[in-house]
Amino acid sequence: MHEDAESLLAHHPPQKHSAWARYTSIASKRRFLVAVFSFATVSFLALGFLRSPWTDQRSFTPILDPQTSTNSSTPTVALVDPHGPEANLIGAPTAHFRDNLRNDRKYITSWISAGWTNDVMTYINLIYLAMITDRIPVIPMFTPSHIGGAVPPIDFGLVFDVPRLRKALNIPVLEWHEVKDRASNEVEEIGCWNTWEAVQKNEHYPRRSHVPDHLKLDISYTKAPSWIKTIPNFDGDVHSSFWALAALAFPETRAENLVLPLESPTNHLLLPPDEHMLCYDYLYFTCANQPYEMEFDYSPAWRFVGQHLHWSPTIEQLANQYLRRSIGIAEDRPTPPASPWIAIHVRRGDFKVFCGEETTGCYASLEVIARRVEEVKAELLQRKGIMVEHVIMTSDERNATWWEEVKGHGWYGVDHSQTADVLGPWYPVLIDAAIQSLGVGFVGTDKSTMSNLARRRVESWTDGATRIYKWGTPNADDH
């Protein structure tokens, strides 16, 4: 599905309890924008303060910055996050990334190349690989896919709470814009491992990604050995194994597997895989034990990294604000804890390709989904004594009749008719993904990574009740 977000959103009908009617004039739209950003900024600052090292010293190790502690009788102690950029880079972002790398640190990076949720999972895999190779992950930006290719990238750290992640994992985590100046036009050569050609036979090139263009990297790729493949010689799968990739991060195995690299496209250089900034073309299809492992309870990438990746304060505040507006609670009031809610994610859009021409009977009906909603409600009541009051639907479906049916079930929609215009094209999906994950329960669509991550978040964050409905044939979810 490569529709742009605006056309997606334009087809969402106004919701019964929506307060958007108040914001239809341009003047009030502007007021809304100011209000959203003021609220988000104040909340951001407030949350930032609450989480700052000044208020939470138990889990935070202050390190003494020698440059600011000159007088021994009254030392000025600067609290530098030992896992942040100050402690793990030479200084402010530089025109060449190499000028900012410390010689006593080793780094690792990789690129993205799919739908947004797949890209989130890819960065989770990168951070997990960083942990097992003892390297510092340097995370690039998110580049657009389903929201329209011309949309500018968005920082990982705008979407997710990186300081909280560093603290939870107790390792450094950096973003590329902290290393290399975003404004730099300096093209830099680097050698990376090409995993894509080692795991599949159809595409005779490393996995393609827009990220190296944004970072101005001219990459010479070395084909990884075929033993990185999780299921040897099996054409039906393209996964590689974390520890096989990790082995290539260490000098002996690296040296044994060097082959003639591919020429870098711009400066035509041949470079072996970089040892300081280790890089792999693509880590989405990476697992410890079995393909598509993040669907399974034991997934190490989820357990050791994914579950600790929380929304940034800004995204979380926006999600709560949209949610309150959906269910008709004043936007400036907190969602009452006495009004527990659950979310549904119905993934349609480009999933049509799995159906052929006729989608009736292929896509699950709302009645089928309602059965799982009732199961979630019953489980929450039985297991936790929680009475669910609100059900919030999120979906990429644009059909207005379908949304009317959703309302007919007493479920609320999220009104994104103005979101892309007011906040930007990234925000409908970011807000919906956050809403999907913040309730006491969740019902999602089989085969959707967006649904799967929401399910995992609800389970990991609130021990919530979840169900995934099956689809594809009329009786697919009958069980």
Sheet holding 341-346, edge to edge: 412-413, 390-395, 341-346, 441-445, 465-469
Cβ distance to ligand GDP smaller for residue 97 or 403? 403
Of 15, 113, 312, 449, which lies in the binding site for ligand GDP, with binding defined by CB under 6 A?
449
Tell whether residue 144 is a contact of Mg ion (CB under 5 A). Answer: no
Query: Quick one: CA torsion of 157, 326, 407, 449, rounded to 10 degrees?
Result: 10
Count residues contacting ligand GDP (CB under 6 A)? Answer: 20
Residue 193: φ, ψ to 5° = -80, 140
Closer to Mg ion at the Cβ: 113 or 321? 113
Burial of 87 (0-12, 13-18, 19+ CB in 10 A): middle
Residue whose beta carbon is closest to ligand GDP? 115
Shortest CA distance to 110 belongs to which of 231, 246, 237, 296?
A: 246
Nearer of residues 179 and 370 to ligand GDP, judged by Cβ: 370
Q: Contacting ligand GDP (CB under 6 A), which of 133, 194, 321, 448?
A: 448
**H or E stretch covering 429:** helix 427-437
**Nearest distance in Å: CB 118, Mg ion:** 5
What are the backbone angles phi and psi of residue 6, rounded to the nearest 5°? -65, -45
Among the listed ranges 192-200, 304-312, 319-327, 444-452, the one in contact with ligand GDP (CB under 6 A) is 444-452
Cβ distance to Mg ion smaller for residue 261 or 428: 428
Which residue lies nearer to ligand GDP by CB, 83 or 146? Answer: 146
Contact 431, 367 (CB under 8 A): no
Question: Is residue 415 close enough to count as binding ligand GDP by CB under 6 A?
Answer: no
**Minimum distance from residue 341 beta carbon to ligand GDP (Å):** 16
Q: Where is 123: in which H helix or E strand?
A: helix 116-133
Nearer to Mg ion, 324 or 456 (CB): 456
Looking at the Cβ atoms of 230 and 437, the one nearer to ligand GDP is: 437
As a whole number of angstroms, the distance between CA 36 and CA 329 comes to: 16
Strands (DSSP E) contained in 384-475 are: 390-395, 412-413, 441-445, 465-469
Q: Which of 222, 447, 198, 418 is nearest to 322 (CA)?
A: 418
- Segment contacting Mg ion by CB under 5 A, of 38-46, 72-80, 115-123, 256-264: 115-123
- Subset of residues 270 to 309 that bind ligand GDP, contact rule: CB under 6 A: none
Structure tokens at 442: 């969740």
Size of the site for Mg ion (CB under 5 A): 2
- CB atoms < 10 A from the CB of 384, how many? 15
- Helix, strand, or coil (residue 360): strand
143 in contact with ligand GDP (CB under 6 A): no
* C-alpha to C-alpha distance for 146 and 347, rounded to whole angstroms: 13
**344 forms part of the interface with ligand GDP (CB under 6 A):** no
Q: Which of residues 380-409 bind ligand GDP (CB under 6 A)?
A: 394-396
Is the Cβ of residue 146 or residue 308 nearer to ligand GDP in the bound state?
A: 146
Determine which residue in the list 13, 85, 115, 140 makes contact with Mg ion, applying CB under 5 A. 115
Query: Footprint of ligand GDP on this chain (CB under 6 A)?
Result: 1, 114-118, 146-147, 345, 347, 349, 394-396, 428-429, 432, 448-450
Query: Footprint of Mg ion on this chain (CB under 5 A)?
Result: 115, 118
